[in-house]
Structure 1
Amino acid sequence: MIAANKFSRQLGPLFLSALISAALTHAQSTLKPDKPPITYANGLVGTAPLDDQKLIGNAPPPGEQLYSGFTSPGARLPHSSTELAPINANLDLSYPAGVRASYFYSNRTMYGFSSGADDSPTVMPVVGDWTVPPERSGSVYDKKQEKASPGYYSVYLDDYRTRVELTATTWTGIFRFTFPQSEKANILLDLGFSGGDVEVVNDHTVRGKSANGKSFFIAEFSKPFQSFGVFKQVPSRNRDPLIGFSDVEPESRTISGPFSGAYLHYATTAGEQVLLKVATGVSFEAAEARLHNEDPDWNFDAVKHKAEDAWAAKLNQVVVKGGTEKQRMLFYSCLYHSFASPHLIAKKGEQFTGLDHELHTAEYDRYDTVPFWDTGRNQIVLLTLFEPDTKLDILRSQLDRARESGYMATSFHGDNAIFMYLGDWKRGLNFDWASAYEYLRKNAMDPKGPRGHLAEYIQRGWISDFIPKGNPSPPYAGGKAGAATTLEYSWDDYALAQYALKLGKQDDYKMFLERAHNYKNVFDPSTGFIRGKTEDGQWISPFDPREPYYNFMMKEASGWSTLWLVPHDVRGLINLLGGRDKFDAKLDEFFSTPYTAKGICRDCTGVIGQYVQGNQPDQQAAYYYDWGGQPWKTQKLARQILEQMYGSDHTGYAFPGMDDQGSTASWYAMSALGFYPVDPSSSAYILGSPIFDQATIHLGSGKTFTITTHNNSAKNMYIQSATLNGHPWNKPWFDHADIANGGELILTMGPLPNKNWGSSPSDAPPSMSDNEQ
């Protein structure tokens, strides 16, 4: 108090009041008692759409729902194929959006719950009369009582006065139904449109298999049901099961066909609980073994706690301080979604069916395909940072899948598996890199492989497109996506060149390095954009860079968005655009030109000017100012995207576009920490603007990397100065080698840009063209 009186005489009471207020505000944001990270993670994040029209563009097409992130609020473990999740969209009878997502936050009727992996039955408790699917007996539910947290989901069905709770182990799911007093309590299970075989084994067990005979399930009930029966949907004469008629067989035990299922009847007292356990496998024996090994009793809470412990171990790897309560909720929810894929197929020692259609016994934890066009741009790096041991199994899984199928998986578009293998090699993982190269190279050289139009790409150095009859505007959705595919392959080829060089394959290095420049072949200097060509090499005309093309020249993107799809050679793109000043001016125009497209891109929500956060092609573009010598603009944009594109709707759960198995979520998680892997095949991390006062990252290697910010706030978003591992740092990026053994990045923030920090050409992140200057 004496010190305060002394300062009050020297500085004046108004200044002192402001100083104390600021100090208290800062203390409240950073010194609150920390809650465990898992308490912030909310599975409902990413299930709602943006609702500010200026962020939405012109989506969706008439008659469809706006893209809502399509994350799942269901109960699962990290990377698990087993998920128990709510279904509030009856996809058997409707097609509510461009993607067949089974859950939209805005929907208010529950139709059922998934019970595990693919081909597992849909489960629904019904009190009263019920109808055979596909009509499905739904219930309105109370959004206020809906809860989704890591490993757990709960909802109250108003019409049936029944609470449903879900949790899961690796291969089993367990339901807990709390019924009202009723003589008509029922639980329905069915195999959906594809159907299969269902059998009521005894008074507490139902089992079945998919129509293709590859997936089997076992369902056990904690209490014997009092009566039962089976049902299916009988196709009409035109063989359409959706307009057929029902076949319900009371007391029958077996049935086959579309929507084959069983109904189990109870008379319940108020608050009576019935539990249901479900497991799937490659046989009835395998499913039953999983059910009894992983879930031997009926202790729902014990299973839930184990699931929460598994998630806590993941989320505890990052401890953040500062930021707002909402920012911490969004961060940990996004980090939670980042561990969604790839999915586990078989644990070590378990059997699975490989891509060669043979039955194998897993020699390690086997995973399914990585969605390379999506999570291959960011999430694959996050997984390496946090779980390198799991990542080694993922690398091995993709290689063995290549051995079984003959080619490395490509996943949707491009050929981006090389990003994961080269990036992990550069980040120090120990793997059989030479064996992986055999298949990575085969993808890039064999025209019969998964790279579309590869022969044309090798011959010409670019891929043409064809002009549809009448060349309609807005453009049609078909085509070869020639210009965008050329860019994707060029990026892939640069990574292959570096990979070949590390293996000492000089001839391959030179060949792929030459091909890595092919992106220049589809750059039109007369317009300053990437542009499609016809087979005779002429630029396709008319051409409007503001129009979103689904496959005509571009891939789910406009000419504006596709322009920046050169992450491996941003400096080369700078040169094409006429130097740094013109490059930055082009970026400025990109982020400020209003979105006025005629054509509708379903994925294109979350817009800032022509920039689209909701789809992959340009998600890295906000970080390009770090190459252009204006890193303060990247810092401002990163904050703007984090603030406006995530949770800015009335629910607080919105995502732009699609999450794509953790891609959009990973963008938030890493950008909130303050860095982003613009080129995942590179070991460079590009700096943005952290939203937290401190983030302690426990790397999977056992080392700790800490990012500390001083004077950080919503207004103080600009980096004034930095130190890395105790040394002054003037670059808007750092390398994995700088943090591989742990370290600390300290950033001093301020309300105005420091235009001298990180702006020199020598401070820019690496690019392919660096060695050509």
Structure 2
Amino acid sequence: MITVQASSAQTKSLTQYVKPLNGTQRMGHVYPGATVPFGMVQLSPDTDTIPYEMNGKYNPDVYKYCAGYQYDDATIVGFSHTHFSGTGHSDLGDFLIMPTTGALQLNPGTAAHPESGYRSKFSHANETASPAYYKVKLDDQNITAELTASARVGMHKYTFPEKTQAHIILDGMHGIYNYDDKNVWTFFRVENDTLVTGYRQTNGWARTRTVYFAMSFSKPIKTYGFRKMDPAQAYRGFWGKFKQDKDFPEMAGHRIRSYFDFDVEAGEAVQIKFALSSVSTEGALLNMRTEIPGWDFAAVKAAGEAAWEQELAKLSIESKEQETLESFYTAMYHAALSPTIYMDVDGRYKGLDQNIHTASGFTNYTTFSLWDTYRALHPLLNLVQPQRNADMVQSMLAHYDQSVHKLLPVWSHYANDNWCMIGYHSVSVIADAVMKGNAPFDANKALDACVASARHRSYDGVGAYMDMGYVPEDLSGASVSKTLEYAYDDWAIAQMAKKLGRNDIYEEFLKRSGNFRNVWNPATGYMQAKLKDGSFVTEFDPLSTHQKGYIEGNAWNYSLYVPHDPKALIALMGGNKAFVRHLDSLFTMHLPDEFFAHTEDITRDGIIGNYVHGNEPSHHVAYLYNDAGAPRKTQERVRMILKHQYKSAPDGLGGNDDCGQMSAWYIFSSIGFYPVAPGSNQYAIGSPAVDKAVLQLGGGKTFTIVAHNQSAKNVHVKKIVLNGKPFNGYNIDHETILAGGVMEFYMEN
């Protein structure tokens, strides 16, 4: 009877299991604020503002604040409208709002002395975070802050404790991290006694980014003012004839903060609707009037919660463990935060060419962290959000059309490509969609874009790679990582070309996909950097993360990165037994303290032995035991990673969530299979860690996974039954899943 009640409660509300604060401590780099699935607005608290440089050098504390919020902090600076989820770098933090009372202060103060500015102390005991809703008490002035959102509009509700004059501060120079020239220009304009519009231009991770806004108050402004925070921006020329700091309707400058005053009664709430656009203030106002025309905060919150409930129900699970339910649905939540919608309600958006375009027949997206998300997030979306993933592919193709380089996106956001990380992994996402039949677009045109990107000789060592079959380290750094990742992407292109009957392309890129062999050094037993003269680099240390040839990994990690041809890799390493021994040592070795002391980009977070789960090149590795004839070890390792790298707690992520990739790994691995090589129709079988999972496939079809007798001890698969018949092997294909049915795992110790 208890089980039935638990199941009923689970069916009634899945959002109850989502814990947005999970991953906000240490390296998870997620934000806890209000947003809807794939929303353009991410309205969230920022707990500090960090200068990019201190004393002329890079400030390492910047890394802590990639999402603007750190769980261990004791103060909140304010609530800004744009955030990345789980990245290892940052931008954004646009248009910070903070309510205050008492003497007006237009600087943020410091964490040590919050009273010196507009920030406030807060306590987690007075903080609530759930899908589409965030609430916190600002202790210094006893103001209750509540946030919710639609796709393009953030909604604030600030309740004041007593009759007073309330200030609403709008900080136009705030950013997740700041350096002197990031804020290029800001413009604020008071349209009437309840409406303010404007825009902000920044030169940050995105080198040229413009965000427009429209801000509406629920009651008339009593007084307002602007403050230029840069003393060098003196009033001069014609504009010097006006007193612009108070009740003047507009202000433009490099660094601007503003305030809006209201007389409030005890217990009165001032509400704000804040809409964004990449096109114009007019577009922002249209977004506001379309998505949130009224002032019913509870209705907006309920609509956001309903959107999340629908999203979570696309893949539902049953488990006897509360921890598993919370970790799983929080992972589903995090996996639906990126990429983000990037267009107004009328379909218009700013393109890579900085012109205004209209998305016709698709929703345009941005925030493509492709080095991370091609591995599992996009394959997950192909299963549970096929239309949305197809729209993301069309967004990538629009990016290609607008690119002067004729390159698909690498790491793109807000009409920019910041070129972060390596590879041309858009082709993996596109190939995966085409190979899995999710291509409501011109697949041949998409293939042409993939080929053009992969043949772009001036991009990151590709010319030498094409000529020599590898990237020489003395011509382009991280050469081994690039060679291996290019080879995988080339294989993905080959698979797509074969399906489309483009045999010349298939032959060319299938040959290129074997280039991983060209950086294999049989003398050391590792993938190793080569110079342009064909010799391997000397002074080789396979454990060093400063070894020439690699990025976000060492030779030991990257030597296992041949996801498209594991049998060939196993042969290079001496066959099944030798390969299994190598994998075992990866997970069981003990790294000396010196390894961490001299390593800036990897900490103890996310590491098991020398297996670095916090960095994505290792995400497929546990499944390689299957290919070496040791599936029980795949099952053991997967369950070990699930246990040690994820938990339902603020420090519950063993590394950056990386726009949902860490969470997508958890989701796939929890239900029993994983896409080792996107672009293939195959998923590798692992060990399901839930009792039951149901994928909604559309058209009334479902694919159900049942794990009989699974537990923390029973992690091995005794047998598998698919639709009542024995299932052999350790791969399942995409078409079998889409056909629907029931896959039963019988588990044992």
TM-score (norm 1): 0.85
Amino acid at match of 1:121: F
CA contact (8 A) 1:348 1:365 kept: no
2:53 is the alignment partner of 1:78:
no
Counterparts of 1:681-692 in structure 2 under 5 Å? 681-692=679-690
Distance 1:337 1:700, change over 3 A: farther
1:414 to 420, 423, 428: 423
2:97 is the alignment partner of 1:123:
yes
Q: Deviations over 1:164-197 (max 9, x none)?
A: 1111112111100011115342110021151411
Post-superposition shift, 1:564?
1.2
- Cα distance in 1 for residues equivalent to 2:39 and 2:689: 30
Counterparts of 1:260-659 in structure 2 under 5 Å? 260-281=256-277, 282-346=279-343, 349-363=346-360, 364-368=362-366, 370-405=368-403, 406-411=406-411, 412=420, 413-431=422-440, 432-448=442-458, 451-466=459-474, 480-549=477-546, 552-596=548-592, 597=595, 599-604=598-603, 605-647=605-647, 651-659=649-657
1:98 to 52, 63, 80: 63
CA contact (8 A) 1:116 1:279 kept: no
Post-superposition shift, 1:490?
0.6
Q: Deviations over 1:618-650 (max 9, x none)?
A: 1111111111111111111111111111127xx
Amino acid at match of 1:407: L
- Cα distance in 1 for residues equivalent to 2:636 and 2:679: 26
Q: Deviations over 1:284-314 (max 9, x none)?
A: 2222122112111110000011111111111
Amino acid at match of 1:602: D
Cα RMSD between the aligned structures?
A: 2.4
- Cα distance in 2 for residues equivalent to 1:119 and 1:688: 39
Q: Deviations over 1:458-488 (max 9, x none)?
A: 1111112149xxxxxxxxxxx6100110000
- Cα distance in 2 for residues equivalent to 1:734 and 1:335: 22
CA contact (8 A) 1:75 1:151 kept: yes
2:25 is the alignment partner of 1:48:
yes
- Cα distance in 2 for residues equivalent to 1:603 and 1:508: 39
- Cα distance in 2 for residues equivalent to 1:38 and 1:576: 47
| Equivalence for 1:472 | none
SS across alignment from 1:578? coil
My pick for the range that moved more, 696-705 or 140-149, is: 696-705
Post-superposition shift, 1:613?
0.8
SS across alignment from 1:261? strand
Post-superposition shift, 1:347?
5.3
- Cα distance in 2 for residues equivalent to 1:165 and 1:716: 44
CA contact (8 A) 1:603 1:658 kept: no
SS across alignment from 1:647? coil
CA contact (8 A) 2:71 2:650 kept: no
List gaps (5 residues or longer) in structure 1: 1-23, 50-67, 239-246, 468-478, 752-773
- Cα distance in 1 for residues equivalent to 2:308 and 2:699: 19
| Equivalence for 1:732 | 730
List gaps (5 residues or longer) in structure 2: 54-58, 84-91, 110-116, 175-182, 203-208, 235-242, 412-419
Distance 1:687 1:97, change over 3 A: farther
% same residue: 33
- Cα distance in 2 for residues equivalent to 1:511 and 1:369: 31
| Equivalence for 2:88 | none
2:220 is the alignment partner of 1:255:
no
Amino acid at match of 2:350: T
Distance 1:33 1:667, change over 3 A: closer
Q: Deviations over 1:129-158 (max 9, x none)?
A: 343236452111110221221111111111
- Cα distance in 2 for residues equivalent to 1:671 and 1:712: 14
Distance 1:368 1:179, change over 3 A: same
CA contact (8 A) 2:615 2:655 kept: yes
| Equivalence for 1:241 | none
CA contact (8 A) 1:603 1:657 kept: no
| Equivalence for 2:75 | 109
Amino acid at match of 1:713: S
Distance 1:377 1:30, change over 3 A: same
- Cα distance in 2 for residues equivalent to 1:160 and 1:31: 42
Post-superposition shift, 1:200?
2.8
1:150 to 131, 136, 160: 131
| Equivalence for 1:39 | 16
Distance 1:93 1:735, change over 3 A: closer
Amino acid at match of 2:256: S
CA contact (8 A) 1:315 1:335 kept: yes
My pick for the range that moved more, 391-400 or 252-261, is: 252-261
- Cα distance in 2 for residues equivalent to 1:172 and 1:29: 35
Post-superposition shift, 1:686?
1.1
CA contact (8 A) 2:287 2:345 kept: no
What is the aligned length?
686
| Equivalence for 1:63 | none
SS across alignment from 1:126? strand
- Cα distance in 1 for residues equivalent to 2:690 and 2:359: 42
CA contact (8 A) 1:179 1:271 kept: yes
- Cα distance in 2 for residues equivalent to 1:653 and 1:421: 34
CA contact (8 A) 1:722 1:730 kept: yes
CA contact (8 A) 2:683 2:732 kept: yes
Distance 1:156 1:332, change over 3 A: same
Post-superposition shift, 1:409?
1.5
Amino acid at match of 2:168: I
| Equivalence for 2:120 | 139
SS across alignment from 1:202? coil
2:221 is the alignment partner of 1:218:
no
- Cα distance in 2 for residues equivalent to 1:30 and 1:210: 48
> Whose radius of gyration is greater, 1 or 2?
1
Distance 1:25 1:285, change over 3 A: closer
2:660 is the alignment partner of 1:662:
yes
CA contact (8 A) 2:52 2:62 kept: no
Post-superposition shift, 1:706?
0.4
Q: Deviations over 1:373-410 (max 9, x none)?
A: 11111000111111111122112111121111122112
- Cα distance in 1 for residues equivalent to 2:22 and 2:364: 28
My pick for the range that moved more, 265-274 or 79-88, is: 265-274
My pick for the range that moved more, 32-41 or 296-305, is: 32-41
CA contact (8 A) 1:44 1:148 kept: yes
SS across alignment from 2:565? helix
Amino acid at match of 1:166: L
- Cα distance in 1 for residues equivalent to 2:63 and 2:493: 34
Post-superposition shift, 1:429?
1.6
2:737 is the alignment partner of 1:747:
no
Post-superposition shift, 1:340?
1.4
- Cα distance in 1 for residues equivalent to 2:254 and 2:512: 50
Post-superposition shift, 1:350?
2.5
Post-superposition shift, 1:557?
0.7
Post-superposition shift, 1:269?
2.8
- Cα distance in 1 for residues equivalent to 2:82 and 2:552: 32
- Cα distance in 2 for residues equivalent to 1:33 and 1:641: 26
- Cα distance in 1 for residues equivalent to 2:731 and 2:9: 31
